[in-house]
Amino acid sequence: MQTLELDGRTFTLHRARADDVPALVALLADDVLGREREGADLAPYESAFARIDADENQLLVAVRDETVKIIATLQLTLMPSLSRGGATRLQIEAVRVETSTRGSGLGGALFEWAQNWGREQGATLAQLTTDVARVDAHRFYERLGYVQSHVGFKRPL
């Protein structure tokens, strides 16, 4: 476990555990887009968690505050690639900070921690995707130095 100290508050970061899944899903659903995408049945999330947890290239992070409540999460994926000279990419996804904690600086501190973690694992590029409707998130990522460099496409299978 690691800690982040921020304005007199201590946040503990750890690899998510199976018993964290309900709280993590609640964070994902506590969002304008998440309300429409996330469901009440935890079985698919528990199955996904098992696959994520078994994959050495995945790190699902749960962040707890001083009361031990989960107040943030993000998922990190290391992606070896032949492009960019065989670079390993750090994919950052499913970033959520509880509404009451937004604006505290925790999001920026989490990204700094995630980027350092990625470097330690050999990643040379951090990347993420975000919904086009998340204008506030776009500004946040730009403040952190991320650049809109690609156009993404998705298709249901």
Could you tell me if 62 and 76 are in contact, meaning their C-beta atoms sit under 8 angstroms apart? Answer: no
pTM of the model: 0.92
Q: What is the pLDDT along the chain (157 residues), one digit of tens a residue?
A: 799 999 889 999 999 999 999 999 999 998 877 777 888 899 999 999 999 999 999 999 999 999 999 999 999 999 999 999 999 999 999 999 998 888 899 999 999 999 999 999 999 999 999 988 888 899 999 999 999 998 888 898 9
User: Two tokens at 150?
Assistant: 């690609």
Strand order, beta sheet including 70-80: 2-6, 9-15, 58-64, 70-80, 88-97, 123-128
Could you tell me the CA-to-CA distances from 40 to 95, 96, 99, 130 in Å, in that order? 20, 18, 20, 23
